[in-house]
Amino acid sequence: MAPAVDAISASQPLPPSSAFEGNEYYSQGLRRRFHLDGLRVAPSNANSMPNADIGYEVDETKFKQRAEARLKAGGLATSVPPGWPTEVKGPLVWSSQNFPNEEEYVYQLTEKDKAEIVEALNWFKSQGLDGSEVSRALFPLPTLGTHLDKLCEDVYDGRGFVIVRGLDPDAFSNEDMTIIYLGVSSYIAERRVHVIKRNDETDNQYSEDKPFHTDTVTDCLCLFVHSLPETGGRSVLASSWTVYNELAATRPDLIHVLAQPDWPFDTFGRSPPFYKRALLYHHDDNLILSFSRRLLVGHLPFEPRSAGIPGLTEAQAEAIDALHFIAKKHEFKPRILKGDLRFINNMAIMHRREAFENSANNHRHLVRIWLNNEDKCWKLPEPLRIAWARVFEDEERDAHWDIMPVRKNGKILRVAGSCD
């Protein structure tokens, strides 16, 4: 049976394969592998029901008014979906007060570690290999590697995040620094995709705080802090397991909304123009949250939502706002230092970015890498299995690895590995 994940029109099959050439969201191989050409969806209600008034920036007043109206109307579920937990427990359930000491989540590189990294760098370069070929086997860290293995356990089976601190981007060329952070990250996960965020690279001032989200298509998000802005720009974390527990205790109806496979994700001009799936999954005894607010409502003025595709319902609008505001109650703001390598369990940890301002001498540049550990990644439900395969397993996708943004006249020409 084909997975209920995509939607392209009211009730029509996908167009012939030739219609997708040059602008396809799924490659020919993935469409055959996951039987995507056989998908059918129920008629969209986009024209029969008004879309909720919701945008990329979170509006607390609208959220409270929407919640009040829906509670007043009644008829909401009073328990979690059948088979779902009323409470989840474990190291992934945390709030900011659970981390009073940096030593709990920061691994500070020793001088011996740094010497081992330089030795691994020199050995790799002596082999005449391309930087994209960096792997654990080709970047030997016999002592540091054992510590990184423990950090990997923390990411996938512990609190869900770690920071490796002590690298100095100014001590190496861009090419060598890239080999180093790829080499270190290969001990957390070896499959990777590199993503450059356009706006962070081009704006001198980014006045809005980003809402909480995940990166949707990776089990581990790696952020390498190449340089910092003049002010602001912290990366903030929150446990989706903690958020789930609060929803289960106070608004279990919203868990039903989040778990419904009817959320319309914009593909921004590709074919199909949108697809549908759930945001929240209870699968193999794990809770997995996977969503990007930008893909659900657009991001004005940079990426307006595509015309003619479904918007969000009132219930969906309340649900994604609830994720944000509950996450803010429990959010954790670890210090961010130049040279930090952050590893985040993207299946269970939400993140956001605070507003920032660049200057002539201080410019925010965080290298964002999507990592996949085939052994440690949680078992994925079919819709997410398709999403991961599209990013990490599609040999038809063009691959670029740009150490720095490719620019012309101050504008970025290519976004390396952009796969959302």
Report the pLDDT averaged over residues 259-265. 97
Per-residue pLDDT, 176: 96
**What are the residue ranges spanned by the domains of the chain?**
1-109+191-420
Identify the helix (H) or strand (E) that includes residue 277.
Answer: strand 274-277
150 vs 417, which has greater pLDDT?
150
- pTM, two decimal places: 0.88
Grouping H, G, I as helix, E, B as strand and the rest as coil, residue 281 is: strand
The C-alpha atoms of residue 189 and residue 329 are separated, in whole angstroms, by 31
Compute the C-alpha angle 71/44/390, nearest 5°.
100
What pLDDT was estimated at residue 303? 92
pLDDT tens-digit profile of 142-153? 999 999 999 999
Q: Is 39 helix (H, G, I), strand (E, B) or coil?
A: coil
Residues in the chain: 420
pLDDT reported for residue 49: 61
238: β partners: 350
* Confidence class for position 296, pLDDT limits 50, 70, 90: very high
pLDDT bin (cut points 50, 70, 90) of residue 405 is very low
What the block records as the tokens of 288 is 């997995």
pLDDT at 50: 75
What Rg value do the Cα atoms of the chain yield, rounded? 22
**Arch. (CATH architecture) of 1-109+191-420:** 4-Layer Sandwich (3.60)
Whether pLDDT at 243 is above 50: yes
Position 39 pLDDT exceeds 50: no
